[in-house]
Amino acid sequence: MTGARPFTHSEPGTAESRWRERPEWADLEHADALLSGRGRLVVVAAHPDDETLAAGGLLALAARAGLEVTVVLLTDGEASHPDSPTLSRCDLAVLRVEESRAALARLAPSATIERLGLPDGRLADHIGEAVTGLVDVVGERGGDTVVVAPWRHDGHADHDAAGWAAGVACGRTDAVLWEYPLWLWHWCEPARAPWSDLHALALDIDVLAAKQEAVALHRTQVAPVSNGRGDEAVLHENMLAHFARPFETFLRLDLPNDDSLDELHDSSSDPWQVRTSWYEQRKRAVTLAALPHERYSRGVEVGGSVGALAETIATRCDRLVVVDESEAAIAAARSSLRGLDHVDVVRASVPEDWPAGLFDLVVVSELGYFLSPARLRRLVSRVDTSLTDDGAVVLCHWRHPVRGWPLDGPRVHELWTGSSALPVVATHLEADFRLDVLSRSTAHRAGSP
């Protein structure tokens, strides 16, 4: 834990000492209740030692149960002793990471550590990098993964940022999120605690003993580095007492809103240069040329962004619905499509808020990798069931790497075509993008050449 303030002694019966008693506020649960039948545990730490203090028991129990365990250190904890006369920031980073390795070897010997190396004390300025790193760790295995991270309202800027980043990463990967408090025990009076969200994990004697041994291995934090001023112990006895209890505490909350695409549209009127880029202009022409039929009664474009592709597709549709979940994108699309009375622009999250009715054309362009794997599969199902018998689905995605989300363009097409009941009737493939057309029917409509 970095940046911790000195903790003053609390007399018996005070608010702080009452925190240490057996939690009457929640039933003691076993590890399987938190791990939800998953096969993998990822514990996120803002600083080396957070994972041992708050989730050391869970780490040991997960290892006992045979789960794959990974600890992600967002920072190396180099700022824990800013005025140390004996250790540089680099020295502290090396020592603290090695302390976490030693503690983890005591708790979960087969576990691994991933380091992101973000700046200690400034995680809030690097949330995007934290999200990307966590998404890379979880990947497409979110459905089998429980992520445990600092509580996003813990009161320490790094802890809060770590919790928020973990929540966003879980939303993008389908992982389950539990959060753990660290500073809560210091600043929050018991009467103000979020009781309804707290869950206690029972630790048996052997697990508790292993945890205490692991905590003691974080020597730079639990003991003075030297007798010099600036080398004092960061974790005093009062604070350590909260993590010596025969239970650990976790919170299960709704995931935070992932507003990254909204921020992107807010920062630029055309974030992907869809109106000026030759790549985008040519891709729209290829998309239009790939439509199997001359006219469509009712189409929908999913992920309309600023409306450039919708403006093109609208020339082939009697009615067109344009869907995006970004308020900024919707405003831009409505502006660019103003005057097209047969086009409706709707703010909605898909597949959850799928527009009602049937469509004979569905266009999904540059959207699939902004969905988690589970949401993408649900979208495939919604599209299949809302498509008319002679309708068509057009997929078009960038083929290069996409950071910050678990899927890239080729994987989106692989998952879609593998999950859909519709056959692929046409494919256009080049260095930058792939376009697939899926349809139940390849026959021309009556009257078409």
- The single-letter DSSP state of residue 254 is P
- pLDDT above 50: residue 10: no
* Confidence category of residue 270, pLDDT binned at 50, 70, 90: low
Contacts of 368 (CB under 8 A, 6+ apart): 376, 379, 395, 397, 407, 409, 412, 413, 415, 416
User: What does the pLDDT read at residue 7?
Assistant: 31
139 φψ region: left (φ > 0), alpha (ψ -120 to 50), beta (else): left
Contacts of 138 (CB under 8 A, 6+ apart): 42, 145, 147, 169, 170, 173, 175, 406
User: What does the pLDDT read at residue 176?
Assistant: 97
* Confidence category of residue 277, pLDDT binned at 50, 70, 90: confident
User: What does the pLDDT read at residue 239?
Assistant: 87
Helices (H), 346-440: 373-386, 409-419
What's the whole-number average pLDDT of the chain? Answer: 89
- pLDDT above 60: residue 21: no
The H-or-E segment that residue 135 falls in is helix 127-138
Pick the residue with more confidence: 188 or 157?
157
Peptide bond into 351 cis (omega under 30): yes
Domains of the chain: 15-251 (3.40.50.10320), 260-439 (3.40.50.150)
One-letter amino acid of 114: E
Contacts of 301 (CB under 8 A, 6+ apart): 309, 310, 313, 320, 321, 322, 323, 363, 364, 365
User: What does the pLDDT read at residue 266?
Assistant: 55
Mean pLDDT, to the nearest integer, of 238-257?
Answer: 92
Q: Which range, of 30-39, 126-135, 219-228, 440-449, averages the lowest pLDDT?
A: 440-449
User: What does the pLDDT read at residue 23?
Assistant: 56
**Three-class SS state of 201:** strand
- Contact assessment for residue 343 and residue 314, using Cβ atoms and an 8 Å cutoff: yes
